[in-house]
């Protein structure tokens, strides 16, 4: 690692507490008892709610909490309306804490419910950076995919179907009170979910590792700075996440019963979440948000498809970092120049994406070439993500990237 430069201050935050390990989900009931929370709102979806490992947990919670309310109407890539329904359920039940069980979609709806039940209003009142006035209801996050890192992150992402755009709330108050990362919950993920969510974790780690350095972020207004830029602690976390994804994503995809691979991926996703929710995701996410809202592709697949194209754009200013990534992904770089090694990182990622079945062309998602300029314009407005990208793009750069991925 490069020398530590301490002239500029960075800060780090994550969930208030983290438990990690097979079976740790069953310790949640005890945690509720310690906090004297008796009216939990459980937010999930019908697929996840039907998993034996989840039913066992909900039964245990029911036996300890006097008034458990189950909201199981979440959907993947959740809409603002679905989040509004979860808020209503929590309000009607006078919930005193919220438990999110599921992939990032359910965890994000749980965060919004914890916010609205505490502060009143509606989900859209809290969109944007730092719009939540104070602590939300205690919120516990149990991820069932190894991907988003929402269990430790400060954001919640919803889809606004009317304007066909993804909307986010980002706030220090959205970091869960407790993350219960139990890899056993991910054992049942079908290969496509494993692939998409695992690729999302990889993109989080790569963007966190390669984003602008925190010391260069002085030109971004601190009041509007949702992310710190890359710094030593986030680079450490991201590096380990990239290494673990390189080691285990393909195995988790091809051999869903491999516990070792599932454990690696659950850990990798959490580390990547710790990294990106401080240093930031970047241009890949900025480009994916409008595409995901338009085509309804999975967030991780859209990100994976775009990643090599954005890396090619960033390559001239991130040679050293891409060389690191090539090594962590186990690329054979013998005899290659630095530039060639950096390019090998991108090729290695393309190989990995192919192995886990990620589509490679935007047109395969059902998008038209004519929509590119409008999509690029929408991405261009997501300043918090453009501000941390290693190169500040012009609108035409975004259009070029989308054309190359089309
Ligand atoms: N808040 C954040 O920090 C953050 C970060 C990245 C992405 N996101 C958001 O998270 C969402 C994507 O989340 P995701 O990739 O985890 O997928 P997901 O939550 O959308 O789940 C995808 C599908 O997998 C199913 N599923 C989940 N776990 C399962 C299991 N163990 N067994 C069987 N089926 C299971 C779900 O029922 C769902 O149908 C997007 O909306 C994205 O924008 C949020
Ligand atoms: Zn993501």
Choice between 315 and 224, residue whose per-residue pLDDT is larger: 315
What local confidence, expressed as pLDDT, does residue 226 receive?
87
Cα 64 to ligand 1 centroid, rounded to whole Å: 28
> Which of 87-96, 108-117, 387-396 has the lowest average pLDDT?
387-396
Choice between 24 and 221, residue whose per-residue pLDDT is larger: 24
At which residue do the structure tokens 């500040």 appear? 392
Mean pLDDT throughout 382-404?
94
Cα 108 to ligand 1 centroid, rounded to whole Å: 9
What local confidence, expressed as pLDDT, does residue 258 receive?
98
SS3 per residue for the chain:
CCCCCCCCCCCCCCCCEEEECCCHHHHHHHHHHHHCCCCEEEECCHHHHCCHHHHHHHHHHHHHCCCCEEECCCCCCCEHHHHHHHHHHHHHCCCCEEEEEECHHHHHHHHHHHHHHHHCCCHHHHCEECCCCCCCCCEEEEECCCCCCCCCCCEEEEEECCCCEEEEEECHHHCCCEEEECHHHHCCCCHHHHHHHHHHHHHHHHHHHHCCEHHHHHHCCHHHCCCCCECHHHHHHHHHHHHHHHHHHHHHHHCCCCHHHHHHHHHHHHHHHHHHHHHCCCHHHHHHHHHHHHHCCCHHHHHHHHHHHHHHHHHHHCHHHHHHHHHHCCCCCCCCCHHHHHHHHHHHHHHHHHHCCCCCCHHHHCCCHHHHHHHHHHHHCCHHHHCCCCCCCCHHHHHHHHHHHC
- Average pLDDT over the chain reads 96
For ligand 1, mutation pick of 54, 103, 154 (most atoms within 8 Å of CB): 103
What local confidence, expressed as pLDDT, does residue 1 receive?
65
For ligand 1, mutation pick of 49, 54, 102, 115 (most atoms within 8 Å of CB): 102
Cα 336 to ligand 1 centroid, rounded to whole Å: 38
Structural domains present in the chain: 17-186 (3.40.50.1970), 191-405 (1.20.1090.10)
Q: Which residues line ligand 1 (CB under 6 A)?
A: 45, 47-48, 51, 76-77, 102-106, 108, 144-145, 147-150, 153, 155-157, 185-186, 188-189, 193, 196-197, 200, 299-300
For ligand 1, mutation pick of 46, 49, 143, 148 (most atoms within 8 Å of CB): 148
pLDDT range class, residue 217, cuts 50, 70, 90: confident
Among protein residues, the one with the nearest Cα to ligand 1's atom 12 is 104
Percent of the chain whose predicted confidence (pLDDT) is above 70: 100
Measured distance between the N- and C-terminal CA atoms of the chain, rounded to whole angstroms:
37
Report which ligand 1 atom has the smallest distance to the Cα of 111: 1
From the CA of 185, which ligand is nearest? Answer: 1
pLDDT(3) > 80: no
Mean pLDDT throughout 253-266?
98
Kindly report, residue by residue over 315-373, the tens digit of the pLDDT: 999 999 999 999 999 999 999 999 999 999 999 999 999 999 999 999 999 999 999 99
From the CA of 306, which ligand is nearest? Answer: 2
What local confidence, expressed as pLDDT, does residue 372 receive?
97
> Which of 16-25, 214-223, 317-326, 339-348 has the lowest average pLDDT?
214-223
Mean pLDDT throughout 387-391?
92
pLDDT(55) > 80: yes
What local confidence, expressed as pLDDT, does residue 128 receive?
94
């Amino acid at each position: 690692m490069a020398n530590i430069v301490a002239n500029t201050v960075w800060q780090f935050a994550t969930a208030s507490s983290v438990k990690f390990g097979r079976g740790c989900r069953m310790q949640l009931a005890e945690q509720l008892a310690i906090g004297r929370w008796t009216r939990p709102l459980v937010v999930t979806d019908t697929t996840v709610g039907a998993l034996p490992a989840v039913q066992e947990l909900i039964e245990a919670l029911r036996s300890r909490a006097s008034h458990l309310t189950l909201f199981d109407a979440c959907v993947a890539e959740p809409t603002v309306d679905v989040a509004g329904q979860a808020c209503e359920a929590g309000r009607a039940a006078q919930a005193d804490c919220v438990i999110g069980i599921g992939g990032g979609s359910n965890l994000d709806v749980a965060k919004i419910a914890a916010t609205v039940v505490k502060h009143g209003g509606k989900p859209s009142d809290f969109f944007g950076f730092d719009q939540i006035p104070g602590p939300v209801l205690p919120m516990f996050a149990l991820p069932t995919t190894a991907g988003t890192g929402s269990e430790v992150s400060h954001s919640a992402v919803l889809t606004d179907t009317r304007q066909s755009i993804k909307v986010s709330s980002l706030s220090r108050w959205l970091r869960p009170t407790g993350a219960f990362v139990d890899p056993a919950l991910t054992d049942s993920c079908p290969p496509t979910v494993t692939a998409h969510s695992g690729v999302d974790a990889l993109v989080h780690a790569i963007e966190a590792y390669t984003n602008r350095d925190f010391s260069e972020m002085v030109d971004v207004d601190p009041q509007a700075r949702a992310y710190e830029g890359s710094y030593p602690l986030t680079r450490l976390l991201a590096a380990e996440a990239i290494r673990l994804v390189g080691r285990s994503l393909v195995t988790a995809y091809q051999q869903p019963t491999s516990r070792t691979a599932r454990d690696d991926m659950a850990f990798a996703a959490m580390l990547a979440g710790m990294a990106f929710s401080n240093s930031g995701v970047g241009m890949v996410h900025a480009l994916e948000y409008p595409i995901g809202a338009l085509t309804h592709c999975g967030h991780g697949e859209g990100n994976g498809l775009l990643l090599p194209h954005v890396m090619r754009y960033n390559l001239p200013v991130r040679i050293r970092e891409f060389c690191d990534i090539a090594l962590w992904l186990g690329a054979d770089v013998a005899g290659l120049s630095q530039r060639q090694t950096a390019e090998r990182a991108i090729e290695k990622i393309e190989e990995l994406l192919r192995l886990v079945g990620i589509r490679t062309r935007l047109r395969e998602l059902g998008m038209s070439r004519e929509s590119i300029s409008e999509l690029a314009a929408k991405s261009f407005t997501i300043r918090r993500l453009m501000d941390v990208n290693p190169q500040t793009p012009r609108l035409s750069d975004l259009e070029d990237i989308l054309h190359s991925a089309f």
